[in-house]
Structure 1
């Protein structure tokens, strides 16, 4: 019996040892699982966080983290407002210049592009502000105090045709590249059809857009107005490398250069859509000996640029269409 008791005791000790090992293993496993469970449950959150943000460097050289699908986006230029609409994002406010859509015009205002009302910005409580490095760099700290993410873009770095390419630029920023690309393709498809018609029906190859005034100013190719010529396959006679003119939509341009270039079509941008006033403007140019010798005047291609051809009043596609129709009508 003593031997039996010893054996029994040994067996009991062994069983206890195994039990303690099993418990220790179990506890160790729970600790490991617990240690892994926290990161595991945090990992989707972390991955989600990584997946729901887009860290980029803006045009002021700042690293900016853009949230995915921001709900309250505020654009501080009319062009960016329209780019947001083009990709299906409704801005939370407007700048005064914006007149393209009724819904956009009805939004609460934050002032003019170059005269932003900071208090109005704060009142909207945006979660993302898209500002221009050209107009709003001095407002950086005040805009950041709104609590929103602030991203600065540079109009000069958007693309060769900023009027259209701003949409994919903003689309990429907000993770809506597919929608933006579809939009751009549709604009180019329409422009290509009109370009073919202009080439076939009119033979126009060169042109210029000027502003009526005491001195002659002309649209640069990168401007919204110059972009119309580019999209329609018309070469702008205004060179791209004029000194000190990089940031201006319109630049000083002398009549002698226009006469020497003798463009096929001349658009005159006026301050209103008053028909009688515009007729008087055309008459003034046609009766001017300097202008009357030009082929554009002789061939009835000295045209008033439709009042709607303005990025504050029309979509890019409507601007292209109106610009082309003015040429095609003059050919009849």
Structure 2
């Protein structure tokens, strides 16, 4: 009888122990699947450690740089996509830039990365959060592509990869400044975008302007300085009359309107860089209108190709 009691007690304890171990193991596994992070809007977000269906509208450059593929990619209207990324994103379906609720739901994401506070106006965050963990990435005028890359890398657990991306980029900038030293030092440049027969100039501290002037070291033309002081976006409209006085050694043109009437105007031909055959043209599908490590790498490669 005593022996039976002992055996019964041992059996019960063993079962309780196994149950406790199983419960402990299950809790541990569950907790290891997610991490709680605080995003740019102070939301506490339970982020999956290995998301498999990411939507990151207009942040695809960073995903590709970190060896990730979204389940849907950014578009504006019909066929307007980031063409320079299509070697990695070819075949990925599109989703409109403003992320319609029904479309997001259709793609069944397990992580939403939001790159602009404006995307969430009108209480959209709560709606998105019902679909999937929604993380607002650092954004705003003073936020650099490096800060966005590092923030996204933190969410994806790829901090080491982000460091390598930055190191490779910095090495490219350094090498380019060495290779093109005689083409850069003491030389000024401007970046112009022509679309719908209108010209827009990049500000000196925004987008490709940051790269051209701060990183590569081209001098800033007077007209670009004037425009930059009042700039409220990456590109600011500029008249053809003003352009005819542009004192830039090089003019990098992003041409989204090859048949623009302005190109036949005598004022266009009188622009010093155009007159001196220092006009370098890239089509509207190039990376010059975008931000991110891949976009900037391709811009540097373009500059190297035309100035070598």
- Class of the TM-score when normalised by the shorter of the 2 chains: 0.7 to 0.9
Tell me which residue corresponds to 2:36: 55
Q: Which residue of 2 aligns with 1:81?
A: 60
1:321 aligns with 2:305: no
Out of 157, 161, 170, the position equivalent to 1:175 is 157
Distance 1:219 1:187 in 2: 21
**Taking structure 1 as reference, are residues 281 and 235 closer, same or farther at Cα in structure 2, changes over 3 Å only?**
farther
Q: Give the CA RMSD over aligned residues.
A: 4.0
Counting matched residue pairs gives 291
Contact 1:206 1:263 in 2 (8 A): yes
Instruction: Measure, in 1, the Cα distance between the counterparts of 2:288 and 2:242.
Output: 26
Tell me by how many angstroms 1:254 deviates.
7.3
1:154-201 Cα deviation digits (max 9, x unpaired): 4327843x2x65433322221011222222222222222112222234
CA-CA distance at 1:42 after TM superposition: 4.1
Q: Which residue of 2 aligns with 1:309?
A: 287
Q: Is the 8 A contact 1:204 1:265 kept in 2?
A: no
Equivalent residue runs for 1:21-170 within 5 Å:
27=9, 40-77=21-58, 80-96=59-75, 97-99=81-83, 100-102=85-87, 104-111=89-96, 113-114=97-98, 116-138=99-121, 139-145=124-130, 147-156=131-140, 159-160=143-144, 162=145, 166-170=148-152
CA contact (8 A) 2:177 2:216 kept: yes
Q: 1:283 to 1:176 in 2, by over 3 A?
A: farther
Cα offset, 1:149, TM superposition:
0.9
Q: CA deviation at 1:98?
A: 2.8
Matched, 1:212 2:212: no
1:13 alignment counterpart? none
Give CA-to-partner distance per residue, 1:210-246, whole Å, 9 cap, x none. 233676532134543224414423254545974571x
Q: 5+ unaligned residues in a row in structure 2: which ranges?
A: 76-80
The 8 Å contact of residues 72 and 126 in structure 1, kept in 2 or not, is answered as: yes
Distance 1:62 1:280, change over 3 A: same
CA distance in 1, matches of 2:306, 2:265: 14
Q: Which has the higher contact order (CA 8 A, sep 6+)?
A: 2
Q: Please report how far the alpha carbon of residue 76 of structure 1 lies from its aligned counterpart in structure 2 after TM superposition.
A: 1.4
> For 1:254 and 1:306, how far apart are their aligned partners in 2?
21
* Per-residue Cα deviation, 1:256-294 (whole angstroms, up to 9, x for no partner): 98899834433233214x4x769936974232xxx44xx
| Aligned CA distance change for structure 1 residues 191 and 261 (closer, same or farther; 3 Å) | same
CA drift at 1:301: 2.9
TM-score, with length taken from structure 1: 0.70
Q: Which one has a bigger Cα radius of gyration?
A: 1
Cα separation, partners in 2 of 1:95 and 1:48, compared to 1, 3 Å: same
Structure 2 contact 203–231 (Cα < 8 Å) conserved: no
Please give the TM-score of this superposition, normalised by the length of structure 2: 0.74
Matched residue SS, 2:74: coil
Report if aligned partners of 1:210, 1:218 keep a CA contact under 8 Å in 2. Answer: yes
| Mapped partners of 2:65, 2:46: distance in 1 | 23
1:25-58 C-alpha deviation (Å, 9 max, x unpaired):
x959975x87776555444544444444232222
Distance 2:127 2:290 in 1: 26
